[in-house]
Each structure stands twice: as structure tokens, then as C-alpha cells.
Structure 1
Amino acid sequence: MTYRPYLAMIQESVQKDDVTFEEISPYYLYRAQREKKSFIMHDVEIGLNNSASLKLARSKSGTYSVLKKAGIPAVEHLFLLNHSSRFSKTNSYQLATDYFHSFNESVVLKQDDGSQGENVYKITSADELKIQLKALFSLHLNACLSPFYSSTYEYRIVALKGEPKLFLAKERTTSWKHNLIGGSRSKDVPPALIPSLSKIAIDTAQALELNFCSVDILDTTNGLLVLEVNEQVMLDEYIKGDPSRKEKVSAIYREAILERFKQL
């Protein structure tokens, strides 16, 4: 059994189902076993999603392109290839500048495959855009650019097998970001919004061909817009200090793990 609290919760969720975990690499790789069936668990990823969908969900611009094609409302994320790439045929700095002006000179710059709020910058000047883009490229990363939407609330919906399983609201406080680890408050979702959020989240999961994921939806003056999709369901900050939340997340992971064994 791992000593990582969130991973331990996931493993404990199926203790009564005769599922055991053999450690391959401490705190990171485990083999889940049940009777004669087994699968390797990579961090918190249990393998319900195909590899192409996983790669797609990690790309902010790729996700947006698929959602746009499917007619699902989403925040624009426009791809900026690292200028040092051997595949680069355009000037990414000029392209970024053009996007910047088209988005009313208020944008968010981030790494295209980013997560947990790292390497994310709110940009309000062309000079700052160039500096931060150069910094991202120096880390051998590709980038993407999106318009900045001022929003108090962001909603996260966990989807499993085409059904919404959990709803949470993240209320922005001192930062312009909505990360719980950065100080945002976790709140219940207003019941009136649940039907709309459910449809957007499930349509999004189906468009990306994801069986298990969480969908982040921004509440903007332009309506509800998908901000990003997380191929790994991480709710560790959400469950801290609230046993009832832990039970809900544990039940979702139990269902997901048992579904994985059914597919073997």
C-alpha cells in the first residue's frame, strides 16, 4: 500500500472487492490484481482511456480543435509551435502577436500540454508576451494562447462511462486563477446549472473519446465554455478535510477500477 494519501484512497476503494496492489515502483507504479486478471496502474491512471485520447486531452489546443469541430462551446486555445522545432515553418512570435491583438490584448499564455497551473501567464502587453513565450520555448515546450475571460467560477465535472459522477465549483479569490491549491474555494454547484454542465461535460468526453476524465468549464459573460479536459481525475485538494467528499471520490474510483477489470 502506498503512503501517498490520494493514491492510498484509490487503492483502499476496492479492498472489499478482493483487489490487491503489487508495488512495482514506490508511490508510482502498481499492478492491480483480481483473481486471474491484472493491469498496471500508472500513478492514478487506471487505463480506461485509449492512448490517442490521452495525448489529445493533454494538448490544450488539440482539445479545443476537436471541441470546435463538434460544436461544443470552449475557450479558444491556439497552438504555438516551439520556434526551435525542426517542423517550424512560421514565425511563432509573430503569430502570437497577431493572436494577442485579435484577442483585445488580454490573453493567457501557457504550455500546450500543461497541468496544475504551471507555466500559465496572464499577458497584457506585447513585450511581456514575447518574454514569456521565449521562456516557455527555452524549456523545450510548445505553447498555446487563449483570450482572457474574467470569471468568478469554474466548474469541474467528473465523467465516467458517459455519465456525470461529481460536480464541484471553484470560486476564484485572491488570484485570477481557479486552482484550489492556489487558494480558490471549493463550493457546491447551483442545482439550476447541473443540466447544462452535464450536457457539456458528457458531450466533451464523447467528442474526445474519453471514458474517465474531468471537464473544467468556465462561467463567462459569453456563457459556459470548456476550459480544459483532464485525462487524470485528480481531486486531492477537493477532498481535504471533508470525509463525505472523500467517500464520493472513493466510490467513483471503485466503479472505475471494477470497470477496468471487466474490460480485461
Structure 2
Amino acid sequence: MASSERTFVQAIRRYCAAHDIEVDVRAGGWLIAMRRDDQRRFAFGYDIGLNSAIAHRLANDKSAAAEALSLQGVPCISHHLFLNPKLGEKVVGLGWREAMLELLHDHPQGVVVKPNEGTSGRSVFKVTTAAELDHATNEVFSMSTGLVISPYVAIEDEVRVILLDDVPRIVYSKQRGSDWRHNLDAGAKPVLLADGAVRTACVKLAVDAARAIGIRFASIDVVRVDGAWKVLEINSGVMMEALSKLHPELVQATYGAALDRVFGDASPSTNPSPSPPRNG
């Protein structure tokens, strides 16, 4: 097993070795073929292959996910979609920049501009002026067919809930560093949450969000703004690279439990989920 492989790939290799499943890793680890007898399954990127196509697409589209949550009355951060003008006037329409400026005017504290699809906080901009808006828009549109604009809010806490069939496998807070974002790639530190009111509230909201779009295995980010919890994003690809450095057994057990579902195993994974520490 190459030490440079992503945790996701290593976890699948370990699971397959323990369950007599053939595994073929291709494309630098981004495509994984698994076979046991007449069962053939695939993992792609960070998608383990458990979610339906529509749930996967909704989760990966920030604007669509926010709309779907709103339809079900699930509190969430709004994400206004704008398509890349390179797609043409018939697709994008007129007045898209004026609509952006109107959103900025309506939120004098600023807005956040980011790609409609994507993870890890890349190409995310906090914008307070028209000049900053134009810069952010150009940057995002240079690599994306769509962007979303959300009101900038002072996030008091951010928690990630990793769910498998409505059961919380891992719940942790993101302790922000010097950056204004809570992304782990931006230096935030994952800290497992102990049982209590905060954990209970975050899990309930995450379960409501998962049910709203029909997703089975996902990491759901919830944030506290002005004392109220809201869904920020739903991620169909469950990435646990940073968490694995601190809690490798918990990460392996979570991927193992999901793979049990993928292969239809009636018995639980050979790597049951260990109890999280009761501090932090």
C-alpha cells in the first residue's frame, strides 16, 4: 500500500483485503473497481457508490441543495446561482451582473462568492465592494460553469456530521485558525463532539437535511449564526483526510460500515465504530 495514497483509497484497500474483495485502483486512485463473486462496485473520487444519482447531484450543487432544503423547511444558508456568461445569453439571460450587485447592496456586511460545485474552500471569496465582486466573479468563472453568492454571516460554530442511513457515525467541530473560513484545508482543526445539547441539535438538523434530498452517506456541515443552527453544505463525497491523522480507527470504521451497505452485508463491519472521546 503506497503511503502517498489518500486515506479514502487506503481505507477501501483495507476493507477489501479483510472481506476477500478484489480491488483495482486506477487513475491515480480516483477510480476504484471492487469485485466479489458476481458483485462489481465502483468508487470514484470520494464517492463510495452508496448514494443515488439524484441525491449525489443535489448534494454537489450548492444552489440546488439549498432550494431542496428550503422546500422541506430545513434551515439553511441561501445560495443564489449565477451561470457563466460564456454559456451564452440564451442560457444565462441578461442582467446577471446587476442582480449580483443588488445582492451585494442588500448585504452591506458582505457576501461570499464561490463555485456552485466543489469542496475544500477553494476559490472562495469574501466580497464587500463592486471591484472585489468583479474580481471574485472573474476568478470563479475562469474555472467553473456556475457560481453561488451567499450572504456573509458571522459563523459562531461549525460542525460536520457524517451520516450513514440517518445514523451519525462521526460528529466534530471545526476549530478555526487564523482564516475566516472553517475549512480543514484552510487550517481548521477537527475536534470530536461529546454527547450534549450541541451534538444533539446538529445531528437532528443533519438528519433532516439528508432526508430532504434522500441521501444515505454524506458529510453535512451545519453552522450556528446568531444562536441558530443552519445547514451550510451537504457533501456526497465523504472526505476524512484531516480527521484520519487524529482518529484513523474511527475513519476506517466509518468507511467500513458504508462499504458493508455497498456490498449488502447483513453483518456489521469487522471494524465497528469506536466510541468517541468524551472531552472536546
What TM-score, normalized to structure 2? Answer: 0.87
Query: Secondary structure, in 3 states, of the residue corresponding to 1:262?
Result: coil
- Cross-structure match for 1:50: 52
- Cross-structure match for 2:210: 205
- Cross-structure match for 1:95: 99
| Corresponding letter in the other structure for 1:171 | Q
| Corresponding letter in the other structure for 2:226 | T
User: Is the Cα–Cα contact under 8 Å of residues 243 and 251 in structure 2 kept in the other structure?
Assistant: no
Aligned equivalents of 1:172 and 1:28: distance in 2?
A: 29
Aligned length: 260
User: Is the Cα–Cα contact under 8 Å of residues 170 and 187 in structure 1 kept in the other structure?
Assistant: yes
Provide, for residues 14-70 of structure 1, a one-character-per-residue CA deviation record: whole Å limited to 9, x for no partner. Answer: 432222312343422221122331212223322111112211111111111011111
Q: Identity of counterpart residues, as a percentage?
A: 26
- Cross-structure match for 1:84: 86
| Corresponding letter in the other structure for 1:63 | A
Q: Cα offset for 1:153?
A: 2.2
Aligned equivalents of 2:95 and 2:2: distance in 1?
A: 47
**In the superposition, relative to structure 1, how do residues 194 and 62 fare at CA in structure 2: closer, same or farther (>3 Å)?**
same
Among 62, 65, 68, the residue aligned to 1:63: 65
| Corresponding letter in the other structure for 1:237 | A
Q: Cα offset for 1:140?
A: 4.4
Provide, for residues 118-161 of structure 1, a one-character-per-residue CA deviation record: whole Å limited to 9, x for no partner. Answer: 11000111221122212322334311100111124210000111
Query: Which range is displaced more, 230-239 or 2-11?
Result: 2-11
Q: Cα offset for 1:106?
A: 0.9
Is 2:211 the counterpart of 1:175?
no
What TM-score, normalized to structure 1? Answer: 0.92
Q: Cα offset for 1:115?
A: 1.2
Q: Cα offset for 1:222?
A: 4.8
Please, what is the CA RMSD of the aligned residues? 1.8
Aligned equivalents of 2:234 and 2:84: distance in 1?
A: 22
User: Which consecutive unaligned segments of at least 5 residues does structure 2 have?
Assistant: 266-280
- Cross-structure match for 2:237: 232
Aligned equivalents of 1:88 and 1:207: distance in 2?
A: 28
**In the superposition, relative to structure 1, how do residues 90 and 189 fare at CA in structure 2: closer, same or farther (>3 Å)?**
farther
